[in-house]
Amino acid sequence: MAAWGKRLAGVRGVLLDISGVLYDGGEDGGAPIRGSVEAVARLKQSRLKVRFCTNESQKSRQELVGLLRRQGFDISEGEVTAPAPATSLILKERGLRPHLLVHDGVRSEFGQIDTSNPNCVVIADAGEGFSYQNMNKAFRVLMELEKPVLISLGKGRYYKETSGLMLDVGAYMKALEYACGIEAEVVGKPSPEYFQSALKEMGVEAHEQAIMIGDDIVGDVGGAQRCGMRALQVRTGKFRPSDEQHPEVKADGYVDNLAEAVDLLLQHATK
Protein backbone atom coordinates (compact mmCIF):
# COMPACT_ATOMS: atom_id res chain seq x y z
CA MET A 1 0.00 0.00 0.00
CA ALA A 2 3.02 2.27 0.45
CA ALA A 3 3.50 2.50 -3.29
CA TRP A 4 -0.07 3.64 -3.67
CA GLY A 5 0.32 7.02 -2.17
CA LYS A 6 3.00 8.00 -4.63
CA ARG A 7 0.92 6.95 -7.58
CA LEU A 8 -1.99 9.16 -6.59
CA ALA A 9 0.05 12.26 -5.79
CA GLY A 10 -0.82 15.33 -7.82
CA VAL A 11 -4.22 14.14 -9.04
CA ARG A 12 -6.50 17.14 -9.56
CA GLY A 13 -9.37 15.60 -11.56
CA VAL A 14 -11.19 12.28 -11.45
CA LEU A 15 -13.08 10.65 -14.32
CA LEU A 16 -15.62 8.14 -13.07
CA ASP A 17 -17.12 5.34 -15.11
CA ILE A 18 -20.78 4.85 -14.23
CA SER A 19 -22.00 1.30 -14.88
CA GLY A 20 -20.18 -1.16 -12.63
CA VAL A 21 -18.64 1.65 -10.56
CA LEU A 22 -21.58 3.73 -9.38
CA TYR A 23 -24.27 1.10 -9.92
CA ASP A 24 -25.01 -2.27 -11.50
CA GLY A 25 -27.62 -1.92 -14.24
CA GLY A 26 -30.59 -4.22 -14.58
CA GLU A 27 -34.07 -4.43 -16.03
CA ASP A 28 -35.52 -2.95 -12.85
CA GLY A 29 -33.14 0.02 -13.08
CA GLY A 30 -30.41 -1.78 -11.19
CA ALA A 31 -28.97 -0.91 -7.81
CA PRO A 32 -26.20 1.34 -6.47
CA ILE A 33 -22.95 -0.38 -5.57
CA ARG A 34 -22.42 -0.37 -1.83
CA GLY A 35 -20.68 2.80 -0.67
CA SER A 36 -20.70 4.51 -4.08
CA VAL A 37 -23.41 7.10 -3.33
CA GLU A 38 -21.39 8.33 -0.34
CA ALA A 39 -18.10 8.06 -2.24
CA VAL A 40 -19.35 10.38 -5.00
CA ALA A 41 -20.64 12.84 -2.40
CA ARG A 42 -17.28 12.87 -0.61
CA LEU A 43 -15.39 13.38 -3.87
CA LYS A 44 -17.59 16.33 -4.81
CA GLN A 45 -17.05 17.90 -1.39
CA SER A 46 -13.29 17.63 -1.85
CA ARG A 47 -10.98 19.91 -3.83
CA LEU A 48 -10.84 17.33 -6.65
CA LYS A 49 -12.70 17.94 -9.88
CA VAL A 50 -15.09 15.18 -10.89
CA ARG A 51 -16.64 14.19 -14.23
CA PHE A 52 -18.57 11.11 -15.28
CA CYS A 53 -17.35 9.37 -18.43
CA THR A 54 -19.66 6.59 -19.56
CA ASN A 55 -20.20 4.35 -22.56
CA GLU A 56 -23.87 3.95 -21.61
CA SER A 57 -25.73 3.87 -24.89
CA GLN A 58 -29.07 2.25 -24.02
CA LYS A 59 -30.37 5.30 -22.22
CA SER A 60 -30.42 9.00 -23.00
CA ARG A 61 -28.23 11.12 -20.77
CA GLN A 62 -31.39 12.57 -19.22
CA GLU A 63 -32.78 9.13 -18.40
CA LEU A 64 -29.46 7.90 -16.99
CA VAL A 65 -29.00 10.91 -14.75
CA GLY A 66 -32.61 10.66 -13.55
CA LEU A 67 -32.12 7.02 -12.62
CA LEU A 68 -28.89 7.77 -10.74
CA ARG A 69 -30.41 10.70 -8.88
CA ARG A 70 -33.29 8.50 -7.75
CA GLN A 71 -30.66 6.12 -6.37
CA GLY A 72 -29.22 8.99 -4.36
CA PHE A 73 -26.27 10.08 -6.52
CA ASP A 74 -25.28 13.74 -6.72
CA ILE A 75 -24.99 14.03 -10.51
CA SER A 76 -26.31 16.35 -13.22
CA GLU A 77 -26.51 16.06 -17.02
CA GLY A 78 -23.82 18.68 -17.55
CA GLU A 79 -21.30 16.55 -15.67
CA VAL A 80 -21.72 13.51 -17.93
CA THR A 81 -19.78 12.66 -21.11
CA ALA A 82 -21.87 10.08 -23.01
CA PRO A 83 -21.50 8.61 -26.53
CA ALA A 84 -24.97 9.38 -27.91
CA PRO A 85 -24.86 13.19 -27.57
CA ALA A 86 -21.22 13.09 -28.77
CA THR A 87 -22.27 11.09 -31.84
CA SER A 88 -25.19 13.38 -32.52
CA LEU A 89 -22.74 16.29 -32.76
CA ILE A 90 -20.46 14.36 -35.11
CA LEU A 91 -23.36 13.44 -37.41
CA LYS A 92 -24.40 17.09 -37.66
CA GLU A 93 -20.83 18.26 -38.30
CA ARG A 94 -20.24 15.75 -41.07
CA GLY A 95 -23.70 15.85 -42.67
CA LEU A 96 -24.25 12.15 -42.01
CA ARG A 97 -27.74 10.64 -42.11
CA PRO A 98 -27.68 7.51 -39.96
CA HIS A 99 -29.52 4.25 -40.11
CA LEU A 100 -29.90 3.74 -36.34
CA LEU A 101 -29.39 0.33 -34.78
CA VAL A 102 -29.88 1.52 -31.21
CA HIS A 103 -32.00 0.91 -28.14
CA ASP A 104 -35.32 2.75 -28.03
CA GLY A 105 -34.17 4.35 -24.79
CA VAL A 106 -31.48 6.38 -26.55
CA ARG A 107 -33.36 7.25 -29.74
CA SER A 108 -34.37 10.67 -28.35
CA GLU A 109 -30.71 11.77 -28.48
CA PHE A 110 -31.00 11.58 -32.29
CA GLY A 111 -34.33 13.42 -32.48
CA GLN A 112 -32.85 16.35 -34.40
CA ILE A 113 -31.00 14.18 -36.92
CA ASP A 114 -32.19 13.48 -40.47
CA THR A 115 -32.41 9.70 -40.88
CA SER A 116 -33.87 9.62 -44.39
CA ASN A 117 -31.89 7.97 -47.21
CA PRO A 118 -29.11 6.90 -44.81
CA ASN A 119 -25.42 7.29 -45.71
CA CYS A 120 -24.03 5.64 -42.58
CA VAL A 121 -24.94 3.21 -39.82
CA VAL A 122 -24.84 4.07 -36.11
CA ILE A 123 -24.74 1.10 -33.79
CA ALA A 124 -25.17 1.22 -30.02
CA ASP A 125 -25.96 -1.31 -27.33
CA ALA A 126 -29.37 -2.29 -28.68
CA GLY A 127 -29.86 -5.24 -26.32
CA GLU A 128 -32.79 -7.33 -27.55
CA GLY A 129 -32.81 -5.01 -30.57
CA PHE A 130 -29.82 -6.99 -31.90
CA SER A 131 -32.15 -9.38 -33.71
CA TYR A 132 -30.97 -11.13 -36.87
CA GLN A 133 -33.39 -9.03 -38.87
CA ASN A 134 -32.12 -5.72 -37.46
CA MET A 135 -28.48 -6.74 -37.88
CA ASN A 136 -29.13 -7.84 -41.46
CA LYS A 137 -30.83 -4.54 -42.24
CA ALA A 138 -27.82 -2.58 -40.94
CA PHE A 139 -25.53 -4.90 -42.93
CA ARG A 140 -27.47 -4.33 -46.13
CA VAL A 141 -27.43 -0.54 -45.66
CA LEU A 142 -23.63 -0.66 -45.31
CA MET A 143 -23.17 -2.95 -48.30
CA GLU A 144 -25.15 -0.58 -50.51
CA LEU A 145 -22.92 2.40 -49.67
CA GLU A 146 -19.97 3.14 -51.88
CA LYS A 147 -17.90 4.13 -48.83
CA PRO A 148 -19.55 2.43 -45.86
CA VAL A 149 -19.35 4.41 -42.61
CA LEU A 150 -20.06 2.54 -39.39
CA ILE A 151 -20.07 4.49 -36.12
CA SER A 152 -20.11 2.44 -32.94
CA LEU A 153 -21.03 3.93 -29.55
CA GLY A 154 -18.26 2.24 -27.60
CA LYS A 155 -16.77 -1.14 -28.35
CA GLY A 156 -17.22 -2.94 -25.05
CA ARG A 157 -17.12 -6.73 -25.07
CA TYR A 158 -19.67 -7.23 -22.31
CA TYR A 159 -21.03 -5.70 -19.16
CA LYS A 160 -22.64 -7.00 -16.03
CA GLU A 161 -26.26 -6.69 -15.10
CA THR A 162 -27.91 -8.03 -12.00
CA SER A 163 -28.89 -11.12 -14.06
CA GLY A 164 -25.32 -11.81 -15.23
CA LEU A 165 -22.92 -10.91 -18.04
CA MET A 166 -24.43 -9.28 -21.12
CA LEU A 167 -22.95 -9.01 -24.65
CA ASP A 168 -22.10 -5.40 -25.43
CA VAL A 169 -22.09 -3.40 -28.65
CA GLY A 170 -18.45 -4.26 -29.44
CA ALA A 171 -19.39 -7.83 -30.32
CA TYR A 172 -21.96 -6.63 -32.85
CA MET A 173 -19.60 -3.97 -34.16
CA LYS A 174 -17.08 -6.74 -34.88
CA ALA A 175 -19.78 -8.78 -36.62
CA LEU A 176 -20.57 -5.91 -39.01
CA GLU A 177 -16.90 -5.01 -39.50
CA TYR A 178 -16.15 -8.59 -40.53
CA ALA A 179 -19.21 -9.04 -42.73
CA CYS A 180 -18.58 -5.77 -44.61
CA GLY A 181 -14.78 -5.81 -44.54
CA ILE A 182 -14.63 -2.36 -42.91
CA GLU A 183 -13.44 -0.73 -39.70
CA ALA A 184 -15.85 1.10 -37.42
CA GLU A 185 -15.27 4.55 -35.93
CA VAL A 186 -15.69 4.29 -32.17
CA VAL A 187 -17.29 7.13 -30.20
CA GLY A 188 -16.73 6.31 -26.56
CA LYS A 189 -14.03 4.79 -24.40
CA PRO A 190 -11.32 3.72 -25.21
CA SER A 191 -11.15 6.29 -28.03
CA PRO A 192 -8.52 8.92 -27.08
CA GLU A 193 -10.65 11.74 -28.53
CA TYR A 194 -13.44 10.74 -26.18
CA PHE A 195 -11.28 10.84 -23.03
CA GLN A 196 -9.79 14.13 -24.19
CA SER A 197 -13.21 15.71 -24.62
CA ALA A 198 -14.14 14.68 -21.06
CA LEU A 199 -10.86 16.06 -19.67
CA LYS A 200 -11.35 19.30 -21.57
CA GLU A 201 -14.80 19.77 -20.01
CA MET A 202 -13.21 19.20 -16.60
CA GLY A 203 -10.28 21.53 -17.33
CA VAL A 204 -7.63 19.03 -16.30
CA GLU A 205 -4.58 17.68 -18.17
CA ALA A 206 -4.24 13.94 -18.79
CA HIS A 207 -0.60 13.78 -17.70
CA GLU A 208 0.18 14.35 -14.03
CA GLN A 209 -3.32 15.63 -13.17
CA ALA A 210 -6.02 13.13 -14.10
CA ILE A 211 -7.10 9.65 -13.04
CA MET A 212 -9.77 7.31 -14.43
CA ILE A 213 -11.70 4.91 -12.20
CA GLY A 214 -13.46 2.09 -14.00
CA ASP A 215 -14.39 -1.60 -13.96
CA ASP A 216 -13.18 -2.35 -17.51
CA ILE A 217 -9.49 -3.23 -17.66
CA VAL A 218 -9.25 -2.55 -21.39
CA GLY A 219 -11.84 0.14 -22.10
CA ASP A 220 -11.38 2.21 -18.94
CA VAL A 221 -7.90 1.45 -17.62
CA GLY A 222 -6.02 0.72 -20.84
CA GLY A 223 -7.77 3.50 -22.75
CA ALA A 224 -7.08 6.13 -20.09
CA GLN A 225 -3.45 5.09 -19.72
CA ARG A 226 -2.90 5.40 -23.48
CA CYS A 227 -4.01 9.04 -23.09
CA GLY A 228 -1.37 9.56 -20.43
CA MET A 229 -3.77 9.35 -17.49
CA ARG A 230 -3.44 7.15 -14.46
CA ALA A 231 -6.19 4.58 -13.93
CA LEU A 232 -7.60 2.42 -11.14
CA GLN A 233 -9.71 -0.68 -11.63
CA VAL A 234 -12.49 -1.40 -9.15
CA ARG A 235 -13.31 -4.99 -8.22
CA THR A 236 -17.02 -4.39 -8.91
CA GLY A 237 -19.15 -4.51 -12.06
CA LYS A 238 -17.61 -6.58 -14.79
CA PHE A 239 -14.29 -6.98 -12.96
CA ARG A 240 -12.95 -10.54 -13.07
CA PRO A 241 -9.99 -11.73 -10.96
CA SER A 242 -8.06 -12.60 -14.15
CA ASP A 243 -8.05 -8.87 -15.02
CA GLU A 244 -5.25 -8.40 -12.48
CA GLN A 245 -3.06 -10.63 -14.66
CA HIS A 246 -4.14 -9.07 -17.95
CA PRO A 247 -1.42 -9.71 -20.56
CA GLU A 248 -1.38 -6.14 -21.86
CA VAL A 249 -2.87 -3.77 -19.33
CA LYS A 250 -1.79 -3.13 -15.75
CA ALA A 251 -3.79 -0.67 -13.69
CA ASP A 252 -1.98 1.84 -11.48
CA GLY A 253 -3.96 0.25 -8.68
CA TYR A 254 -6.77 -2.18 -7.95
CA VAL A 255 -9.39 -1.32 -5.32
CA ASP A 256 -12.34 -3.24 -3.94
CA ASN A 257 -14.82 -0.55 -4.92
CA LEU A 258 -15.25 3.17 -5.52
CA ALA A 259 -15.42 3.83 -1.78
CA GLU A 260 -11.89 2.47 -1.34
CA ALA A 261 -10.66 4.45 -4.33
CA VAL A 262 -12.04 7.65 -2.86
CA ASP A 263 -10.53 6.89 0.56
CA LEU A 264 -7.13 6.59 -1.07
CA LEU A 265 -7.57 9.63 -3.30
CA LEU A 266 -8.63 11.89 -0.45
CA GLN A 267 -5.67 10.65 1.55
CA HIS A 268 -2.99 10.96 -1.14
CA ALA A 269 -4.15 12.86 -4.20
CA THR A 270 -3.40 16.46 -3.50
CA LYS A 271 -0.23 15.82 -1.55
Strand partners, 166: 159
| Residue 262: partners with Cβ closer than 8 Å, 6 or more residues away | 39, 42, 43
Does residue number 165 form part of the binding site for a copy of itself (CB under 8 A)?
yes
Residue 138 Cβ vs a copy of itself, minimum distance, rounded to whole Å: 9
Upstream peptide bond of 98 is cis (omega within 30 degrees of 0): no
Helix axes of 258-268 and 36-45: crossing angle, nearest 10 degrees: 20
Does residue number 164 form part of the binding site for a copy of itself (CB under 8 A)?
yes
Site for a copy of itself in 100-129 (CB under 8 A): 126-129
Measured from the CB atom, the residue of 94 and 140 that comes closer to a copy of itself is: 140
Give the C-alpha separation, 190 to 193, whole Å: 9
Please name which of 194, 247, 188 lies closest in space to residue 217, comparing C-alpha atoms: 247
Give the C-alpha separation, 158 to 160, whole Å: 7
Measured from the CB atom, the residue of 206 and 217 that comes closer to a copy of itself is: 217
In the set 110, 172, 194, 239, which binds a copy of itself (CB under 8 A)?
A: 172
- Which range of residues in 29-37, 48-56, 92-100, 169-177 is near a copy of itself by CB under 8 A? 169-177
Spatial contact of 187 and 91, defined as CB atoms under 8 Å apart = no
- Which range of residues in 30-38, 160-168, 249-257, 263-271 is near a copy of itself by CB under 8 A? 160-168
Site for a copy of itself in 139-158 (CB under 8 A): 139-140, 143, 157-158
Give the C-alpha separation, 22 to 253, whole Å: 18
Spatial contact of 190 and 39, defined as CB atoms under 8 Å apart = no
Site for a copy of itself in 67-96 (CB under 8 A): none
Residue 7 Cβ vs a copy of itself, minimum distance, rounded to whole Å: 27
Does residue number 239 form part of the binding site for a copy of itself (CB under 8 A)?
no
Give the C-alpha separation, 244 to 112, whole Å: 43
Measured from the CB atom, the residue of 102 and 126 that comes closer to a copy of itself is: 126
Where does this chain bind a copy of itself (CB under 8 A)?
126-133, 135-136, 139-140, 143, 157-158, 164-168, 170-172, 174-181
